[in-house]
């Protein structure tokens, strides 16, 4: 009987060791891991690329890309996933004429700000791309287009428009944890 008690006790202790076991998490070179402490509901220091050991009972890791991302506003409505593409932006010129603006916003997450991005956008349908990048770009584009007449906006080059959009968009994105790589205006045409 005593032997069976020792065997059961050994199994229980072995089971406790399994429960206390750690989990290896691999963060790829183009990712960063946001760590949520499930006991305190607080975010811990993000995990950089590499192999890390976490406690799966107390920590939950959400992966975010640090690679360059592209959000496309195209003249076609069927260009892909709404998280990475949207229809062209319809804007009104200073003289009240509608124009369609196709453009691309190339950006990435600032790894030092990933916890803030996670807090603001985790669990939001469409996340930060559809919930933040898309409406922010639309607003800034519409504001810029409204400063031109139809004749002026169709005469200016897409490169010049992109240059005028870049700094305000760069600042807005930086204030919210993103790094703007560039804006490419593809086409501006009357609607």
pLDDT value for 84:
76
pLDDT digits (tens, 9 = 90+) for 128-187: 998 999 999 999 999 999 999 999 999 999 999 999 999 999 999 999 999 999 999 999
Q: What are the tokens at 154?
A: 């169709």
- The answer to whether 93 touches 153, Cβ cutoff 8 Å, is yes
pLDDT value for 122:
83
Percent of the chain's residues with pLDDT above 70: 83
Q: What are phi and psi of 179, to 5 degrees?
A: -115, 120
pLDDT digits (tens, 9 = 90+) for 25-48: 999 999 999 999 999 999 999 999
Count of beta carbons in the 10 Å neighbourhood of residue 36:
18
- For the cut 60, the answer to whether the pLDDT of residue 125 exceeds it is no
Q: Name the pLDDT band for 4 (thresholds 50, 70, 90).
A: low
Q: What are phi and psi of 95, to 5 degrees?
A: -100, 20
What sign does the dihedral 32-37-43-45 (CA atoms) show? negative
Q: Classify 14 as helix, strand or coil.
A: helix
pLDDT value for 123:
77
177 CA to centre of own chain: 9
| CA–CA distance, 152 with 14 (Å, rounded to integer) | 76
């Amino acid at each position: 009987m005593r032997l069976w008690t020792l065997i059961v006790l050994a199994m229980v202790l072995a089971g406790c060791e399994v429960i206390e076991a750690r989990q290896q998490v691999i963060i790829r070179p183009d990712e960063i891991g946001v760590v949520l402490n499930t006991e305190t509901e607080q975010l811990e220091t993000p995990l950089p690329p590499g192999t890390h050991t976490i406690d799966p009972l107390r920590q939950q890791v959400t992966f975010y890309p640090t690679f360059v991302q592209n959000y496309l506003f195209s003249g076609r409505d069927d260009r892909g996933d709404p998280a990475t593409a949207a229809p062209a932006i319809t804007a009104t010129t200073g003289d009240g004429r509608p124009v369609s603006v196709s453009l691309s916003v190339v950006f990435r997450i600032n790894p030092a700000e990933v916890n803030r991005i996670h807090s603001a956008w985790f669990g939001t349908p469409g996340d930060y791309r559809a919930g933040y990048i898309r409406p922010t770009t639309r607003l800034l584009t519409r504001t810029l287009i409204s400063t031109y007449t139809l004749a002026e906006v169709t005469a200016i080059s897409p490169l010049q428009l992109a240059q005028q959009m870049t700094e305000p968009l760069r600042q807005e994105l930086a204030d919210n944890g993103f790094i703007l790589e560039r804006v490419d205006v593809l086409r501006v045409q009357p609607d």
